[in-house]
Amino acid sequence: MLSQQTIDVIKSTVPVLEVHGEAITRHFYQTMFTAHPELLNIFNHANQKQGRQQAALANMVYTAAMHIDNLAAILPAVRQVAHKHRSLGIVPEQYAIVGTYLLQAIKGVLGDAATDEILAAWGDAYQVIADAFIGIEQDMYSEAANQTGGWDGFRTFKVAKKVQESELITSFYLIPEDGKSISSYKAGQYISIKIQPAGQEFTQIRQYTLSDAPGKPYYRISVKRESSGSDRPDGVISNYLHNHITEGSLVELSAPAGDFTLDMEDPRPVVLLSGGAGITPMVSMLNTMLESDDQRSITFLHASPNGLSHAFRDHVSQLAQEHVNLNAHYCYTSPADSDLENELVYKQGYMDAAWLRQVIQEPDANYYLCGSVTFMRSVYAELLSIGVAEDRIHYEFFGPKASLAPATENV
């Protein structure tokens, strides 16, 4: 428990964190990695280069300060991050390192404005928050290790099959090298894959959604080849998987994790909305419902540039023909001639409110949303505009969490 004086001091720093939060987190990561380069075996280098991790941590610190007098309010966010930490293999000892360099960063950026009183208050507050993470993560480690087929840390898997799903996305079917059973999971969860590419000093860990229903003797991940753009470098691990990992290759996996999961108990209809590689958790959810003979009405909506980049199109379309409770519709921004000839495009352009009203026959539903941040911001805003309640919209980010505040960008 924090004293009222400590709470008051932390609250007083909220305006400062709003302005200087990202400067503090940039300073934090730079000094911590300089002193502890071994931590580069854990952190996503691409997210560091793009500033996504710094922004996410700054938002987390700011939110914690805002709710320091009621930390229960941020427990959902804590649990979401704790899932990622468990999947990455974060251990309690590393929290002490983070605390040391976070306080140094506050002092380094704020200078004399970071008084001894402020630093002491943040030291106390950080310990309370760290203890909450550690406790939750210890429970998650125990659960992952003790269930049937479970394990602790990373386990060696073999690529049993490699299947190209589109011009950008390839599926990898992964079976345990030891031949023993594997733990089940909930549709929407992910695994972490750990690889050290040849010639690279550090291991790299990436998290990929499981793209099939649970209960199989394998895990399937479907990975998009990430190419460089104006705001991002080539995806080191996605390209390595596509170019160098073949059938028979060995990789290291942590047990499934994540809190973006399909609610199998709620009887309401389900609407699955995805863009690009965001289709992977939606296919897992779709397969799970249909394989369990779920009779709920399902609407499957996917946005892609065209059929060449659209993974699992034939699979979903075939399921829609076989199951009367499934309706599938696609949006293509740049349809190929073959798409138009085969009448596979239900809408040219972006998902908008008018189209969503047209294709969602039962709006009193649970909505699951996954894709790029730009895609999700736009679709989230469109869903709100047609009267969907915020608590009915569930979403997942690939990478650090960001804001889904309504934006003006197109999908």
Alpha-carbon distance of 319 to 287, in angstroms, equals 9
Give me the active site residues, please.
95, 137
Q: Is there a contact between 148 and 183 (Cβ–Cβ < 8 Å)?
A: yes
Give the C-alpha separation, 128 to 130, whole Å: 6
Whose CA is closest to 90, among 32, 43, 37?
A: 43
| Residues 168 and 148 sit within 8 Å (Cβ to Cβ) | no
Residue 229 has phi, psi (to 5 degrees) of -145, -170
Cα 406 to chain centroid, rounded: 20
Gap between the Cα atoms of 300 and 312, Å rounded: 12
Instruction: Count the Cβ atoms, other than its own, within 10 Å of residue 315.
Output: 13
Whole-number Å distance between alpha carbons of 134 and 76: 15
The number of helices, as runs of H, and strands, as runs of E, in the chain is 13, 12
CA-closest candidate to residue 44, choices 169, 194, 167, 176: 194
Q: What is the DSSP string of 17-68?
A: HHHHHHHHHHHHHHHHHHH-GGGGGTS-HHHHHHTHHHHHHHHHHHHHHHTT
List the structure tokens of 340: 């138009």
Binding site per annotation, positions for FAD:
190, 397-400
Name which of 189, 96, 105, 102 is nearest 134 in CA terms.
96
Beta-sheet pairing, 204-209 with 190-195: antiparallel
Distance CA 216, CA 212 (A): 8
Query: Which class for 275: exposed (0-12), middle (13-18), buried (19 or more C-beta within 10 A)?
Result: buried
The CA dihedral of 79, 401, 53, 35, to the nearest 10 degrees, is 0
CB 309 within 8 A of CB 282: no
- Can you say which residues are annotated as belonging to the binding site? 85, 190, 397-400
Token reading at 228 = 């460089």
